[in-house]
């Protein structure tokens, strides 16, 4: 239990690092009387795709976006989702909304894992993903956490995915994944 809490805490800390950029502009107003209006849901706007995606054999390269994040179109259990490759996240962490669309969870499922995050205690559910694919790089049977509804703004591909690769390397502003 403590291990899971620590793992999800790492993922949430990584999210806290990514969130300011990923959520840039959400809830902004014209500064008038409505400027105190609450921000929209984090899922309303994803970061812009990173430039220069390249596939070379069983390797995949992605350039960092302007904020330094490695945004990819991942295929999780065959479904395309936006995700940030995050070498600082201990686990793959999924948004509730995406996990629900993938059939990984049902509304009646309990979020039975209490996890510490940069924003306090959150709830999550441990799941196993059949596959995680980025370009030609595929890893099967990947442990992941699903964040409670509204708790996560973008999916994170953390170390439960990355450590199963033959190699991953950040060189300057380019991340290379190899299976």
Output the CA angle 139-10-98, nearest 5 degrees.
Answer: 55
- Note the pLDDT of residue 96: 96
157 bridge partner residues: 85
Rounded CA gap, 158 and 32, in Å? 40
- Note the pLDDT of residue 116: 63
Whole-number CA gyration radius for the chain:
16
Question: What domains can be seen in the chain, in order of their start residue?
Answer: 2-25+47-178 (2.40.70.10)
- Note the pLDDT of residue 120: 74
Output the CA angle 22-133-42, nearest 5 degrees.
Answer: 20
Strands (E), 45-119: 54-56, 59-63, 70-76, 79-85, 92-94, 113-117
- pLDDT tens digits for the chain (179 residues)? 444 544 544 545 444 444 444 433 333 333 333 333 333 334 444 555 444 456 667 899 999 999 999 999 999 999 999 999 998 888 999 999 999 999 999 989 999 998 766 667 889 999 999 999 999 999 999 999 999 998 889 999 999 999 999 999 999 999 999 99
pTM of the model: 0.70
The pair of three-digit structure tokens given for residue 102, joined into one six-digit string: 């993938």
Among residues 175, 95, 89, 167, which one has the least CA distance to residue 127? 95
Rounded CA gap, 63 and 7, in Å? 26
15: CB partners within 8 A, 6+ apart: 89, 93, 117, 118, 152, 153, 154, 156
- Note the pLDDT of residue 89: 85
**CB-based burial label for 75 (10 Å; 0-12, 13-18, 19+):** middle
SS3 call for 106: coil
- Note the pLDDT of residue 53: 55
The pair of three-digit structure tokens given for residue 160, joined into one six-digit string: 């439960």
- Note the pLDDT of residue 43: 40
- Note the pLDDT of residue 160: 96
- Note the pLDDT of residue 77: 97
- Note the pLDDT of residue 39: 34
- Note the pLDDT of residue 101: 95
């Amino acid at each position: 239990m403590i291990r899971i809490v620590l793992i999800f805490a790492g993922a949430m800390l990584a999210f806290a690092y990514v969130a300011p950029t990923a959520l840039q502009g959400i809830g902004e107003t014209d500064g008038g009387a409505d400027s105190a209006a609450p921000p929209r849901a984090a899922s309303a706007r994803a970061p812009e795709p990173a430039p220069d995606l390249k596939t070379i054999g069983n390797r995949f390269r992605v350039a960092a976006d302007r904020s330094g994040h490695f945004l990819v179109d991942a295929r999780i259990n065959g479904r395309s989702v936006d995700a940030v490759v995050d070498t600082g996240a201990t686990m793959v962490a999924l948004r509730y909304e995406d996990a629900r669309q993938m059939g990984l969870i049902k509304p009646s499922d309990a979020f039975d894992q209490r996890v510490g995050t940069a924003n306090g205690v959150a709830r999550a559910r441990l799941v196993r993903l059949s596959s995680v694919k980025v370009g030609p790089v595929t890893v099967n049977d990947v442990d992941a956490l699903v964040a409670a509804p509204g708790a996560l703004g973008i999916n994170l591909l953390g170390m439960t995915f990355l450590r199963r690769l033959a190699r991953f390397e950040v060189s300057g502003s380019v991340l290379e994944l190899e299976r």
